[in-house]
Amino acid sequence: MNWYAIFVKTGEEENVRQYFDYHFNQLDYKLFIPKKKINERKNGKVYCVVKTLFPGYVFIQMDMDIKLYYIIKYIPKVYKILNYTDEFYSKIDNEEMQMILNLTDDNNIIGYSKILVENSKIFIKSGPLKGLEGFIKKIDKKKSRLKIALNLMGTERIVELGIELIKCGSNVEYKTNSGNKGLALLQSELSAEMKAE
């Protein structure tokens, strides 16, 4: 079975899931709506909210054929199955899809990654982004968010994810070549950054 991206009405992704359950046997397909945890500030308070990673898109894994294509095309709230060829539909490259699948947990949610920033270098200590430092484009420390580049259907897409910044005083071991002197320097830099914010 291959993965396909379906363009749907934004905000109706979960309703499209219900239409799929009605039209298809759940053993014949897997519908995937990746989501992310992210902090939002409202009335001076910070809340953790869950939002759709790619608003207006759902991903489906199935053995697509022209008959299924036309059934999907006429499901309410579905605009089209994305394609980048002259065909009716195009499959998503398995490597691109696997990257997104690896980021999500069992509930299809991308949680927070713990991140340490030292001398303009980013260290991901834990979480779904561990090992993906090279994909990070920008960090917004004030909003506890970062922007990461993901490839989807041959196009680089920048998505915003929630992070947890590791601050000095947390129980994190950090060693440099200069030993404890480096740790003290790191703590003083982080303290200065926190006061500046």
**What's the pLDDT tens digit per position in 40-95?**
888 888 888 899 989 999 999 999 889 988 988 899 999 988 887 777 888 888 88
In degrees and rounded to multiples of 5, residue 159 shows phi and psi of: -125, 150
Domain range holding 137? 2-166
- Note whether residue 191 is domain-resident: no
- Note whether residue 144 is domain-resident: yes
- Note whether residue 196 is domain-resident: no
Predicted local distance difference test score (pLDDT) of residue 56: 92
Distance CA 5, CA 61 (A): 9
For residues 49 and 153, the model is more confident at 49
In contact, 135 and 13? CB cutoff 8 Å: no
Q: How many domains does the chain have?
A: 1
Predicted local distance difference test score (pLDDT) of residue 114: 86
**E strands of 16-170, at which residues?**
30-32, 35-42, 45-52, 57-62, 78-81, 109-110, 113-118, 121-126, 136-140, 145-152, 155-165
- Note whether residue 180 is domain-resident: no
- Note whether residue 182 is domain-resident: no
CATH number at residue 27: 3.30.70.940
Predicted local distance difference test score (pLDDT) of residue 167: 63
